[in-house]
Amino acid sequence: MSLSSSYRWLPSGQGAAGLRPQPLLKQRAAGIAWSDIIHPIRRPDICLRSSRSSVTWTLRVAARVSSEGRKDRRQKAGPCSFLVGDSEAGRVMEIRRVWRWGVDKRTVEIAIAAAATVVLGVGNRVLYKLALVPLKQYPFFLAQVATVGYIIVYFSILYIRYRAGIVTNEMLSMPKVPFIAVGLLEALAAATGMAAGAILSGASIPVLSQTFLVWQILLSIIFLGRRYKANQLLGCFLVAVGAIITVASGSNAGHSLKEAGIFWSILMIISFLLQAADTVLKEIIFLDAKKQLKGGSVDLFVVNSYGSAFQALFICLLLPFLSKLWGVPFSQLPNYLRDGTACFLNIGAVSIGCEGAPLLPLLFVIVNMGYNISLLHLLKISSAVVSCLASTFSVPISVYMFTLPLPFLGVASSIPPGFVAGAVILILGLLIYAWTPSN
């Protein structure tokens, strides 16, 4: 949207030195940015534009044509075009500055992707709890259904995008070692998280999960060479504190951690370290792809598909250990999967108490896939830390959703005592992180 403009007529004979605009606005206004230098014009089909998309320079050339028996006339050209004609007095150029709000396209894209991630993150948390209503005896089965669903859906979408020409052979021929590492990290994170989660109480896990953001910052500094400003570090700290207060207030989380023991708390922290390493590694894959593809970008479904495939491979190798963590002896795993399938489909004698299946589990799997895709897209266009902040922002909204009379959940939960204070601190942290100090 144009706010105001200033221009003056300059004879072309003044040369490059004469192409300096004289803006009417002397001071920088809030939310508006501009540059005061225009480079010399070298050819007549150029539109001057600054490196930031929030500023546009529009050049218009008018030609005065004087000849015998004709009147002088002035022809104006549209933006980024020229009308050149003979002139006794020389050509005249109009340099017009167009002011626009200082929000570039990338910022808008990140904001939209972050909002989508928050919405899907809330749906993912709520639907997971709803899906466990009919499958309360088969949570391990639900996890395996989601893993198999990832592979089928992701590779199907990858094939469609390959046939459409969106995914290229160069993308598919990228080195597979990073994807193997992604699958290994995700499988180990799941194994350690399940082991610690079986001992720790539900109130202590959200507190320990805030170490995920700390690990991401440290790993991005070490492996990506990223440097964070003071306001960004303060914002991340406030987000973590706000999430802890929102979820754990009034739940005696500290007492629960003390009862569980230091070993299981450390194991859960290691699980979040592995998850943070996984997200930073994916960011490295996207950055390296730009070099390997000569400025191009690898399609996110290439990363999702291969990462999920190798994760499933390592999950299969860890299956005896993982099934034991869920209370299912490995020798009884076939019977467990058979009964879980019957409950999932809501058929047979074991379907008693499986009301809500298969709709609720399917809704969870679909939304969970959308959430993972949205999270990876946000990581691709921004950073691992930004994707983590968006995911964390969904926590207090999910807590509030559980206070509503949702179907199948029975009596709604009460709002934690520190919910409002924690939510305010969390939002304040996000605003401080996004705030860019003026020079």
Q: Each residue of 374-429: pLDDT tens digit?
A: 999 999 999 999 999 999 999 889 888 988 888 888 777 788 788 889 999 999 99
Which range of 130-139, 351-360, 366-375 scores highest in mean pLDDT? It is 366-375
| Average of per-residue pLDDT across 199-225 | 86
Is the pLDDT higher at 118 or at 327? Answer: 118
**pLDDT score of 260:** 63
Q: Any idea of the CA torsion for 21, 22, 24, 30, to the nearest 10 degrees?
A: 60
**pLDDT score of 26:** 40
- State the pairing for strand pair 7-11/56-65: unpaired
Q: Under 8 Å CB-to-CB from 249, ≥6 apart: which residues?
A: 416, 417, 418, 419, 421, 422
**Lowest-pLDDT range of 135-139, 157-161, 250-254:** 250-254
| Average of per-residue pLDDT across 112-119 | 96
Q: How confident is the model at residue 250 (pLDDT cuts 50, 70, 90)?
A: low
Beta bridge partners of 120: none
318/334 Cα distance (integer angstroms): 16
What is the helix (H) or strand (E) element at residue 118, kind and residue range? helix 105-131
**pLDDT score of 432:** 93
**Lowest-pLDDT range of 167-181, 219-233, 240-254, 366-380:** 240-254
**pLDDT score of 22:** 43
Q: Under 8 Å CB-to-CB from 209, ≥6 apart: which residues?
A: 243, 272
* CA distances, 176 to each of 173, 179, 180 (Å): 8, 5, 6
Q: How confident is the model at residue 158 (pLDDT cuts 50, 70, 90)?
A: very high
* Owner of token pair 């082991």: 195
Residue 59 has pLDDT above 50, yes or no: no
Q: Which two tokens stand for residue 53?
A: 């998309």
Residue 317 has pLDDT above 50, yes or no: yes
**pLDDT score of 352:** 84
Residue 153 has pLDDT above 90, yes or no: yes
Is the pLDDT higher at 27 or at 210? Answer: 210
**pLDDT score of 251:** 62
Q: What percent of the chain lies above the pLDDT cut of 90?
A: 48
Is the pLDDT higher at 415 or at 253? Answer: 415
Q: How confident is the model at residue 121 (pLDDT cuts 50, 70, 90)?
A: very high
Q: How confident is the model at residue 204 (pLDDT cuts 50, 70, 90)?
A: confident
Is the pLDDT higher at 305 or at 209? Answer: 305
Residue 44 has pLDDT above 70, yes or no: no
383/280 Cα distance (integer angstroms): 8
Average pLDDT, the chain: 78
**pLDDT score of 412:** 77
Residue 47 has pLDDT above 80, yes or no: no
Residue 32 has pLDDT above 70, yes or no: no
| Average of per-residue pLDDT across 205-215 | 87
Q: How confident is the model at residue 253 (pLDDT cuts 50, 70, 90)?
A: low
147/151 Cα distance (integer angstroms): 7
**pLDDT score of 203:** 65
**pLDDT score of 386:** 93
Residue 363 has pLDDT above 70, yes or no: yes
Residue 101 has pLDDT above 70, yes or no: no
| Average of per-residue pLDDT across 159-169 | 95
Q: How confident is the model at residue 281 (pLDDT cuts 50, 70, 90)?
A: very high
Helix (H, G, I), strand (E, B) or coil at 246: helix
**pLDDT score of 16:** 43
**pLDDT score of 2:** 40
Output the pTM of the full model. Answer: 0.73
Residue 295 has pLDDT above 80, yes or no: no
